[in-house]
Amino acid sequence: MMPRKYIRKKPERTYTAEDLQNAVADVATNNLTYRQASALYGVPVSNIFNRIKGRQIPEGKLGSGRKYMAEDGRIIPENYGARPSISPVYKITGAPTAEIVEVPAAQMDEVPAVHTVEIRPATPSAPIHCLRSVHGASLSTGGSKMDACNLKTENVVPAEPSKCTWHKEADPTNSPHTKKPLRPLKKIHANALETVGRTPIIRLNKIPQSYGIKCEVLVKCEYFNPGGSVKDRIAVRMIDDAEALGKIKPGATIIEPSSGNTGIGLAMVCAIKGYKCVVVMPEKMSQEKVDTLEALGAKVVRTPTDQGSYSRNSTFLVSHKLQEETPNSIILNQYKNASNPLAHYDTTAAEIYEQCDGKIDMVVGGSGTGGTISGIARRMKEINPSCKIVCVDPVGSILARPDTLNVNRGQFWEVEGIGYDFVPTTLDRSVIDEWIKISDQESMPMAKRLVREEGLLCGGSSGAHVAAAMKAAAKLEAGQRCVIILPDSIRNYLSKFVSDAWMEVRHLQPCVNSMNYWWWENKVSKLTLDPPISILGSVSCRKTLNLLRKLGINEIPVCEENGKFLGIAMLAELFNKFMARKIKPDTHISNALRTKFIKIKPDATLGVVSKALHIDGFVVLMEDNEEGEEQFAGLITIGDLLQYIM
C-alpha cells in the first residue's frame, strides 16, 4: 500500500500588531466580516476572533495551527488524532483554500457566521473545529453536503444591533473614528465631489402659515448636492474612508443595495475616481433613478418589489451574490457602515448648528438606513441637548417606537427612501425623542405643495418630513425654531407624484372632470369586456409571442394552474428581456412578465380609468373573491374605453 502523502494547505503568514488592530477594529465596527478582514490584513480569522474576545495572541503567529490536505481530499489539522472525541475530518470539493477555526464548544454560539456548516458533535469541554469556506467551496460533513455560497439571509440583512459605543457624555478625543471638519467655501472646485455639503437653509412661509404654526420653520435643502440628495454625503465619506483603510483597490467594483439615492451618489464618486459601480435596487423605485444611474455609468440590477428584506431575491442577498461572483469588488453597505452616520455627525449637523447660530429647538427627518437622523441627533445631543429630534416613518414600516405605532405592518407605501421591514444597524433609535407615522395620502400632496407654494423642487420623502413637522411643530411657540431635512430632488419623481394622473389613479388627489365628460363618474362595471384570456406561466416565450401575433394583441395575462395571477406578458417586455439576454425562446414566460401595472376595482370610475390609460396602454381589473382575496378579472384597454364613450 502506497504511503499517504500530505500537502501543505497554506504557507505561514506573518502580520504586524497594526494589522491585527485594524482587522479587529473593522470587524468590531461591522465594516468587514471576519473573512474579509483576514483576507485584507493577512491575519487569521481565529486571531481576530480571540482578540475581540480579549485573549492574548502572539504577534506574527498563525493562531489556528497548521493545516494539511491529504490527496484524497481530506482536511487534516496538525493535531489530528490527539483528541479522538473531536472527529475533525471534513471532505472538501472545489476550493483551493479552506480554514479551520478552533473554538471551545461552550462558545460556539459566538462564532462569527460567515457560512453555516454542519458540525460534528464534540464533548462540552473539547474544542470544535469549525470549517469555513474561504473561496466558496462545497463542504460536507458526515455525508451531509451543502453549498457554501448559499448565503443565509439572516447573515446578510444588516439588521444586527450596532456595536457603536457613542453616548452624549463621551470624550470625543477617544473616538475610534476619523473626524472631518467642515470644508471652507471655494470659488472654483477641483471636481463635483468638492461641492457636496454646504447646502442652504430656507424659511418656509405659506405652508406653516396655513397650519397656524407659531414657530419659525426652516428646511435644509439637501437636493442642492451635486447628485441631487443627502446621500451624496455618505457616498463620498464611505469611499474616502474605505480608501484610507486600503479596502478599495484600483479598478474595484463598488456594489451597493440602494433605494436609488445612495446608488446615484456612489455612481457619481465612481465616475470621478474611476471605479466600476453596480447598484441593486427594487423595481418600486422610479425609472428616473435608473436613467440617472446608467448615465453615470453604473450597472443597475432590479429586484422584485414584493420581496421582503429576508427573501432570497432581496436587494441584500442579490448584492452579496453579485459580490461573490465579481472579482475585486466590495459592498460598502450603507445600512451598517459607520461612515454613514459619521458623515452627518461631522457635516450635516455641524452645518445646521452653524447656519442657525446654535438656535435650534427641533429637527425633523426620516429614516431609511437611519444614518442621517442618527448622525444629526447624536451631534445635537452633545452641542444642543434641549433640541428635540423627531423621526418620520411611513405607514407600513416597522421602525417607529413604541411598536404600537406600527399598525398595518407590511402595507405597501409609495414614498421612496424611508421606512423598512427591519431595523438597520445604522439607526440609533435611542436618540429619537418622538416618532410620527405618515401615510402616502399626507406625504405626496405635501410634496406637491412644497413645489407649487414654496418653489422647492424636492422629492416625495420631503413631503413626508414636512407633513410630520406640521404636527410636531404645532407644540412649539413663537420665537422657537424647527429645522426639517429635505432629502432629495424632484428629478427622481417626474413620472410619479409630479404627474397629476399618477396621483389621481392612486387616489392621492381628486380626479377632476375638468372637461365635463358625460361618462366620467360612471363605474367600470358599465363597460362591456370580453371574457379574459390567459396563459399558464409554463408556456414558452416563443409560443407566447406566436399567440400574441395570432390574436393581434400586445399583452396577455399569465396565471398559475390554480388561477393565481402572476403578471402580464407583453411584446415590449419580451423584446427588452430578449435583447438583454435575460431570456431565451424556450424560457418559461413566467420569467419575462411585467409585474408593475395599475390595478383597479369594479367600483372605480371611468374618469380614473382614463387617467390610468394616459400612463399605460392597459389597466388590470381585480375583484375580491368570497374569501376577500384579490383575483384577476380582466384587462381594460384604450379600445374598451373608446368603444363605450364614442
**The pLDDT value given to residue 14:** 61
Q: Is the pLDDT of residue 624 over 70?
A: yes
Name the grid cell of 525.
362595471
Question: How confident is the model at residue 55, as a pLDDT?
Answer: 56
Maximum mean pLDDT: which of 20-34, 96-110, 336-350, 556-570: 336-350
The pLDDT confidence band at residue 153, using thresholds 50, 70 and 90, is: low
Averaged over 473-489, what is the pLDDT?
98
- The 3 state secondary structure assigned to 39-62 is HHHCCCHHHHHHHHCCCCCCCCCC
Residue in 243, 237, 277, 272 with CA at minimum distance from that of residue 260: 277
pLDDT of residue 30: 62
Q: Report residue 522 as a C-alpha cell.
A: 360612471
Write down the pLDDT at residue 56.
54
Provide the 3-class DSSP secondary structure of residue 394. strand
Domains 196-226+346-493 and 512-645 share a fold: no
Confidence of residue 217 (pLDDT cuts 50, 70, 90): very high
Taking Cα atoms as reference points, which of 404, 337, 403 lies closest to residue 374? 337
The Cα–Cα gap between 545 and 554 comes to 9
The residues with which 504 forms a beta bridge, in sequence order, are none
Distance in angstroms (rounded) separating the CA atoms of residues 102 and 644: 76
Work out the average pLDDT over 423-444: 97
Q: In terms of C-beta density within 10 A (0-12 exposed, 13-18 middle, 19 or more buried), how is residue 323 classed? A: middle
- The answer to whether residue 67 is catalytic is no
pLDDT, position 152: 54
Round to whole Å and give the CA distance between 277 and 557.
36
Alpha-carbon distance 5 to 71, whole Å?
7
CATH of domain 196-226+346-493: 3.40.50.1100
The amino acid at 584: K
- Of 70-74, 301-305, 426-430, 544-548, the poorest mean pLDDT is in 70-74
**Residue 355 to residue 357: CA distance in whole angstroms:** 6
Report yes or no: 460 and 493 within 8 Å, Cβ to Cβ: yes
Which of 157-161, 408-412, 626-630 is most confident? 408-412
| Cα–Cα dist 427/159, whole Å | 9
**Quick one: how far is CA 405 from the chain centroid?**
23
Average pLDDT rounded to a whole number, residues 39-54: 76
Helix (H, G, I), strand (E, B) or coil at 301: strand
pLDDT(594) > 70: yes
pLDDT of residue 93: 33
Q: Check if the beta carbon of residue 256 is closer than 8 Å to that of residue 232.
A: no
Distance CA 497, CA 613 (A): 17
Would you say 370 and 419 are in contact if contact means Cβ atoms under 8 Å apart? no
Q: Active-site residue among 180, 220, 231, 611?
A: 231
Q: What three-state secondary structure class fits 98? A: strand
Residue-wise pLDDT tens digits, 264-298: 999 999 999 999 999 999 988 999 999 999 999 99
What does the pLDDT read at residue 308? Answer: 78
pLDDT per residue over 185-202, tens digit each?
Answer: 889 999 999 999 999 999
b/e map of 76-101 (b: 16 or more CB within 10 Å)?
bbeebeeeeebebbbbbeeeeebbbb
Range picked from 49-53, 104-108, 215-219 for highest mean pLDDT: 215-219
Helix (H, G, I), strand (E, B) or coil at 569: strand
Evaluate if residue 561 carries a pLDDT over 90: no
Sign of CA dihedral 116, 120, 124, 128: negative
State the cell numbers at 336. 451598517
- The label of the residue with cell 372637461 reads 515
Beta bridge partners of 77: 67
Q: What residue segments make up the domains of the chain, in order of their start?
A: 6-152, 196-226+346-493, 231-331, 512-645
- Residue of 121 and 567 predicted with greater confidence: 567
The strand pair at 144-147 and 138-141 is best described as antiparallel
Report DSSP state, residue 605: B
Q: Which fold has domain 231-331?
A: Rossmann fold (3.40.50)
| CB count in 10 Å sphere of residue 445 | 16
pTM: 0.74
Per-residue model confidence as pLDDT tens digits over 342-397: 999 999 999 999 999 999 999 999 999 999 999 999 999 999 999 999 999 999 99
Residues 6 or more apart whose CB falls under 8 angstroms from that of 456 comprise 202, 219, 221, 450, 462, 486
What pLDDT score was predicted for residue 150?
45
- Residue 79's nearest CA partner among 70, 92, 68 is 68
Where residue 128 falls among pLDDT bands split at 50, 70, 90? very low
Which pLDDT value is given to residue 80?
35
First and final CA of the chain: distance in angstroms? Answer: 93
Q: Return mean pLDDT, the chain.
A: 82
36-45, 145-154, 344-353, 507-516 — which is least confidently predicted? 145-154
> What is the arithmetic mean of pLDDT over 551-569?
91
**Chain mean position to CA 98:** 31
DSSP conformational letter for 509:
S
Instruction: Read off the C-alpha cell for 473.
Output: 411643530
How far from chain centre, in Å, is Cα 607? 36
- Region of residue 105 (left: phi > 0; alpha: psi -120 to 50; beta: else): alpha
Quick one: cell of 446? 405635501
pLDDT top residue among 447 and 83: 447
Are 567 and 593 contacting, i.e. CB atoms less than 8 angstroms apart?
yes
Rounded distance between C-alpha atoms, residue 580 and residue 126, angstroms: 54
Three cell numbers at 203? 424659511
Residue 105 has pLDDT above 60, yes or no: no
| Residue 292 · residue 217 · CB < 8 Å | no
Q: Say which range, 29-33, 113-117, 232-236, 467-471, has the weakest mean pLDDT.
A: 113-117
Cβ atoms 478, 542 nearer than 8 A: no
CATH code at 512-645:
3.10.580.10
Give the three cell numbers for residue 384. 444642543
